[in-house]
Amino acid sequence: MNPLQREAIAITKELGDIVFVFAVAVLSYLGWRYRSTRDLDIAMASKLTKDQLEQRGYTIFPERGKEVIRSPRGYKIDIYTNDVSDIPIEIVFNTAREVLIGNDTIKVASLELLLVAKLRAMRPSRPQDREDFNKLCERNGKSIDWKALNEIAKEIEVFRIRESVMALAL
Protein backbone atom coordinates (compact mmCIF):
# COMPACT_ATOMS: atom_id res chain seq x y z
CA MET A 1 0.00 0.00 0.00
CA ASN A 2 1.43 3.39 -0.88
CA PRO A 3 1.54 6.32 1.59
CA LEU A 4 -1.30 8.19 -0.12
CA GLN A 5 -3.60 5.15 0.13
CA ARG A 6 -2.78 4.88 3.84
CA GLU A 7 -3.46 8.58 4.27
CA ALA A 8 -6.78 8.41 2.41
CA ILE A 9 -7.95 5.56 4.67
CA ALA A 10 -6.84 7.41 7.81
CA ILE A 11 -8.58 10.65 6.79
CA THR A 12 -11.79 8.77 5.98
CA LYS A 13 -11.75 7.20 9.45
CA GLU A 14 -11.09 10.56 11.11
CA LEU A 15 -13.48 12.79 9.17
CA GLY A 16 -16.34 10.44 8.30
CA ASP A 17 -18.41 10.91 5.17
CA ILE A 18 -16.02 12.49 2.67
CA VAL A 19 -15.30 12.19 -1.05
CA PHE A 20 -11.76 12.47 -2.39
CA VAL A 21 -11.50 14.64 -5.46
CA PHE A 22 -8.44 15.36 -7.66
CA ALA A 23 -5.21 13.57 -6.53
CA VAL A 24 -6.59 10.50 -4.75
CA ALA A 25 -9.46 10.17 -7.23
CA VAL A 26 -7.05 10.43 -10.18
CA LEU A 27 -4.82 7.74 -8.67
CA SER A 28 -7.81 5.44 -8.11
CA TYR A 29 -8.52 5.56 -11.86
CA LEU A 30 -4.97 5.64 -13.21
CA GLY A 31 -3.34 3.29 -10.72
CA TRP A 32 -1.65 4.09 -7.46
CA ARG A 33 1.78 4.21 -9.13
CA TYR A 34 0.80 7.29 -11.14
CA ARG A 35 2.67 10.48 -10.21
CA SER A 36 1.18 12.72 -7.54
CA THR A 37 2.03 15.45 -5.07
CA ARG A 38 1.21 15.06 -1.40
CA ASP A 39 -1.72 17.41 -1.04
CA LEU A 40 -5.23 16.02 -0.81
CA ASP A 41 -8.57 17.51 -1.80
CA ILE A 42 -11.73 16.36 -0.09
CA ALA A 43 -15.41 17.20 -0.40
CA MET A 44 -17.49 17.28 2.79
CA ALA A 45 -21.27 17.49 3.01
CA SER A 46 -21.10 19.72 6.09
CA LYS A 47 -18.23 21.88 7.17
CA LEU A 48 -16.39 20.92 10.35
CA THR A 49 -15.47 23.78 12.65
CA LYS A 50 -11.86 24.59 13.46
CA ASP A 51 -12.37 23.07 16.95
CA GLN A 52 -13.85 19.88 15.49
CA LEU A 53 -10.89 19.51 13.14
CA GLU A 54 -8.39 20.17 15.93
CA GLN A 55 -10.12 17.60 18.16
CA ARG A 56 -9.41 15.06 15.43
CA GLY A 57 -5.73 15.96 15.40
CA TYR A 58 -5.79 18.34 12.43
CA THR A 59 -3.85 21.58 12.56
CA ILE A 60 -4.92 24.87 11.03
CA PHE A 61 -2.43 27.68 10.73
CA PRO A 62 -1.48 30.48 8.38
CA GLU A 63 1.17 29.71 5.75
CA ARG A 64 2.19 32.43 3.29
CA GLY A 65 -0.94 34.44 4.07
CA LYS A 66 -3.34 31.50 3.63
CA GLU A 67 -5.04 29.29 6.18
CA VAL A 68 -3.66 25.80 5.66
CA ILE A 69 -5.13 22.59 7.10
CA ARG A 70 -2.82 19.67 7.75
CA SER A 71 -3.71 16.14 8.72
CA PRO A 72 -2.21 14.62 11.88
CA ARG A 73 0.51 13.16 9.62
CA GLY A 74 1.33 16.52 8.00
CA TYR A 75 -0.47 16.19 4.66
CA LYS A 76 -1.98 19.40 3.33
CA ILE A 77 -5.76 19.12 2.96
CA ASP A 78 -8.07 21.34 0.89
CA ILE A 79 -11.70 20.99 1.95
CA TYR A 80 -14.59 21.74 -0.43
CA THR A 81 -18.00 22.22 1.19
CA ASN A 82 -20.05 24.10 -1.44
CA ASP A 83 -18.90 22.90 -4.85
CA VAL A 84 -16.03 21.36 -6.76
CA SER A 85 -15.24 23.35 -9.91
CA ASP A 86 -18.83 24.71 -9.85
CA ILE A 87 -20.36 21.25 -9.46
CA PRO A 88 -22.61 21.31 -6.35
CA ILE A 89 -21.41 19.19 -3.44
CA GLU A 90 -24.66 17.14 -3.45
CA ILE A 91 -23.81 15.93 -6.97
CA VAL A 92 -20.24 15.13 -5.88
CA PHE A 93 -21.69 12.86 -3.15
CA ASN A 94 -24.51 11.39 -5.24
CA THR A 95 -22.18 10.37 -8.05
CA ALA A 96 -19.16 9.29 -5.95
CA ARG A 97 -17.89 5.74 -6.24
CA GLU A 98 -16.46 3.49 -3.60
CA VAL A 99 -12.92 2.15 -3.87
CA LEU A 100 -11.70 -0.80 -1.87
CA ILE A 101 -8.16 -0.52 -0.48
CA GLY A 102 -7.26 -3.68 1.40
CA ASN A 103 -10.14 -4.13 3.85
CA ASP A 104 -11.07 -0.46 3.84
CA THR A 105 -13.30 1.61 1.59
CA ILE A 106 -12.88 5.23 0.54
CA LYS A 107 -15.13 7.34 -1.67
CA VAL A 108 -13.77 9.10 -4.75
CA ALA A 109 -15.30 11.48 -7.29
CA SER A 110 -16.87 9.82 -10.32
CA LEU A 111 -14.80 9.65 -13.49
CA GLU A 112 -17.24 12.00 -15.26
CA LEU A 113 -17.05 14.59 -12.48
CA LEU A 114 -13.28 14.37 -12.39
CA LEU A 115 -13.01 14.95 -16.14
CA VAL A 116 -15.25 18.02 -15.96
CA ALA A 117 -13.39 19.38 -12.92
CA LYS A 118 -10.00 18.83 -14.59
CA LEU A 119 -11.19 20.43 -17.82
CA ARG A 120 -12.49 23.48 -15.96
CA ALA A 121 -9.28 23.77 -13.92
CA MET A 122 -7.02 23.53 -16.99
CA ARG A 123 -4.87 26.63 -17.38
CA PRO A 124 -1.16 27.42 -17.86
CA SER A 125 -0.65 27.58 -14.11
CA ARG A 126 -1.93 23.99 -13.70
CA PRO A 127 0.07 21.84 -16.16
CA GLN A 128 -0.78 18.72 -14.15
CA ASP A 129 -4.46 19.05 -15.11
CA ARG A 130 -3.83 18.67 -18.83
CA GLU A 131 -1.69 15.58 -18.28
CA ASP A 132 -4.16 14.03 -15.81
CA PHE A 133 -7.12 14.82 -18.08
CA ASN A 134 -5.41 13.31 -21.12
CA LYS A 135 -4.35 10.19 -19.19
CA LEU A 136 -7.90 9.73 -17.86
CA CYS A 137 -9.26 10.00 -21.42
CA GLU A 138 -6.57 7.61 -22.69
CA ARG A 139 -7.00 4.88 -20.09
CA ASN A 140 -10.60 5.32 -18.95
CA GLY A 141 -12.24 6.98 -21.95
CA LYS A 142 -14.17 3.86 -22.87
CA SER A 143 -15.73 3.65 -19.38
CA ILE A 144 -17.30 7.10 -19.43
CA ASP A 145 -21.03 7.19 -18.67
CA TRP A 146 -22.03 9.78 -21.28
CA LYS A 147 -25.52 10.18 -19.83
CA ALA A 148 -24.05 11.03 -16.42
CA LEU A 149 -21.55 13.36 -18.07
CA ASN A 150 -24.31 15.22 -19.92
CA GLU A 151 -26.03 15.89 -16.62
CA ILE A 152 -23.07 17.74 -15.08
CA ALA A 153 -21.19 19.21 -18.06
CA LYS A 154 -21.92 22.05 -20.44
CA GLU A 155 -22.38 21.21 -24.12
CA ILE A 156 -18.93 22.52 -25.08
CA GLU A 157 -17.34 20.50 -22.28
CA VAL A 158 -19.05 17.30 -23.44
CA PHE A 159 -17.73 18.08 -26.94
CA ARG A 160 -14.17 18.63 -25.65
CA ILE A 161 -14.24 15.40 -23.63
CA ARG A 162 -15.71 13.41 -26.55
CA GLU A 163 -13.04 14.84 -28.89
CA SER A 164 -10.27 13.99 -26.41
CA VAL A 165 -11.54 10.45 -25.92
CA MET A 166 -11.71 9.97 -29.71
CA ALA A 167 -8.12 11.17 -30.01
CA LEU A 168 -6.61 9.45 -26.99
CA ALA A 169 -8.59 6.43 -25.78
CA LEU A 170 -6.72 3.15 -26.04
Residues in the chain: 170
Beta bridge partners of 111: none
- Member of 1, 13, 16, 35 binding another protein (CB under 8 A): 35
- Member of 49, 51, 64, 100 binding another protein (CB under 8 A): 64
Nearer to another protein, 151 or 163 (CB): 163
Q: Write the binding mask 87 to 126 for another protein: x where contact by CB under 8 A, - elsewhere.
A: --------------------------------x--xxxxx
Q: Which helix (H) or strand (E) holds 79?
A: strand 76-80
Question: How many chain residues touch another protein (CB under 8 A)?
Answer: 39
Provide the residue type at 153 as one letter.
A
Return phi, psi of residue 55, to 5°.
-60, -30
Note whether 97 and 130 are within 8 A (CB). Answer: no
Q: How far is the CB of 68 from another protein (least distance, A)?
A: 7
